[in-house]
């Protein structure tokens, strides 16, 4: 049995963690799965004769999430890793077949610029899955969720002023001679359709995997109130719930924005802690001291520490 830790991105809430854990645990050869919400990763113990990290990563992708690969500090190398993913700037092409060994040696030590580009690609995929704009990292997506909250809040305030949910007379009259129904329809459409988009994407992904998560609940509650109100505005007589759906979405977006900001901060802190490990370590092997990559240190190695050294 060996253990690996894979980074799982594009997670909305704790039910998403449960879905990934259940899916991975059902694979042949998997002995245990532990999800970590702080680092958004999955620690998996498996029999390498029956499965491998590539199969586990594909299963995560099949769930509709994005696998960022094995989580190691960015300045360390995974032991035995001599390949690069397809599409990487240093991925060998057909005319470079005769230089495979040289390419493998170069790929084992990517430059800082290439590491940045490789790390950015998973964020792009995550942003696409979540309905955010392409090219966003985690902090960009936190900002995007904040912007969606502010847009929803700005258009919800006049809705609440025109229909203060039983708190007395309206504080605001519809502008431009519009009827109250039409004015609230336009305002509610702006307050709901754009801000709720990430939840629509996540809900569709969850239903496709047979999971009922928070995104499904959000879309069901907000969408039902909005669509019924649209029907009552244009097609049949009935009560309208534009203000209720809009106010509900404002609080949901606020909570989700704060959650994403906290998760991004926790994830950054964990990564910063992992990156404190030195890239090299001195160990005694075969009676002499040798320098090896930190990732190559194994159980029962005698590590040499001198004053000022960091613990690998």
C-beta separation of 65 from 129 below 8 A: yes
Q: Is residue 112 part of a domain?
A: yes
pLDDT grade for 166, boundaries at 50, 70 and 90? low
pLDDT grade for 96, boundaries at 50, 70 and 90? very low
Number of domains making up the chain: 2
CA distance 196 to 217: 12
CATH of the domain at 108: 3.30.70.100
Burial label, 24 (beta-carbon count in 10 A; 0-12, 13-18, 19+): buried
Which position has the token pair 């309206």? 170
For residue 291, give the nearest of 281, 302, 300, 301 by alpha carbon: 281
Q: Is residue 126 part of a domain?
A: no
**CB contact set of 305 (below 8 Å; sequence gap of 6+):** 311
Q: Report helix, strand or coil for 161.
A: helix
Which tens digit of pLDDT belongs to each residue from 135-151? 456 677 788 899 999 99
Domain range enclosing 58: 2-117
Q: What is the DSSP letter of 137?
A: -
- Residues 168, 47: one domain? no
Last residue of a domain, one of 85, 117, 149: 117
- Residues 153, 88: one domain? no
Q: Is residue 309 part of a domain?
A: no
Which tens digit of pLDDT belongs to each residue from 51-62? 888 888 888 777
Inter-axis angle of helices 180-192 and 138-162, nearest 10: 170
C-beta separation of 7 from 71 below 8 A: yes
């Amino acid at each position: 049995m060996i253990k690996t830790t894979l980074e799982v991105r594009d997670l909305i809430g704790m039910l998403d963690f449960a879905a990934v854990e259940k899916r991975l645990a059902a694979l042949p050869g998997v002995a245990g799965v532990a999800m970590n919400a702080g680092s958004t990763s999955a620690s998996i113990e498996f029999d390498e004769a029956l499965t491998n990290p590539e199969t586990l990563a594909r299963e995560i992708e099949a769930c509709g999430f994005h696998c960022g690969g094995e989580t190691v500090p960015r300045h360390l190398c995974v032991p035995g890793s001599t390949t690069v993913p397809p599409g990487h700037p240093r991925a060998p092409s057909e005319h470079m077949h005769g230089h495979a060994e040289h390419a493998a040696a170069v790929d084992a030590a990517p430059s800082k610029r290439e590491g940045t580009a490789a790390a950015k690609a998973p964020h792009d995929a995550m942003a696409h899955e979540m309905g955010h704009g392409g090219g966003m990292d985690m902090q960009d997506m936190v900002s995007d969720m904040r912007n969606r909250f502010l847009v929803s809040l700005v258009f919800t305030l006049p809705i609440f002023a025109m229909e203060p949910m039983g708190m007395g007379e309206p504080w605001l009259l519809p502008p431009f001679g519009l009827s109250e129904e039409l004015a609230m329809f336009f305002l509610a459409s702006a307050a709901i359709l754009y801000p709720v988009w990430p939840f629509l994407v996540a809900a569709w992904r969850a239903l496709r995997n047979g999971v009922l998560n928070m995104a499904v609940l959000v879309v069901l509650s907000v969408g039902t109130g909005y669509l019924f109100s649209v029907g009552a505005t244009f097609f049949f007589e009935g009560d309208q719930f534009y203000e209720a759906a809009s106010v509900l979405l404002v609080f949901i977006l606020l909570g989700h924005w704060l959650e994403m900001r906290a998760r991004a901060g926790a994830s950054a802190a964990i990564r910063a802690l992992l990156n404190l490990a030195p890239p090299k370590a001195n160990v005694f092997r075969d009676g002499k001291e040798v320098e090896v990559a930190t990732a190559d240190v194994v159980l029962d190695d005698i590590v040499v520490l001198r004053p000022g050294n960091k613990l690998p």
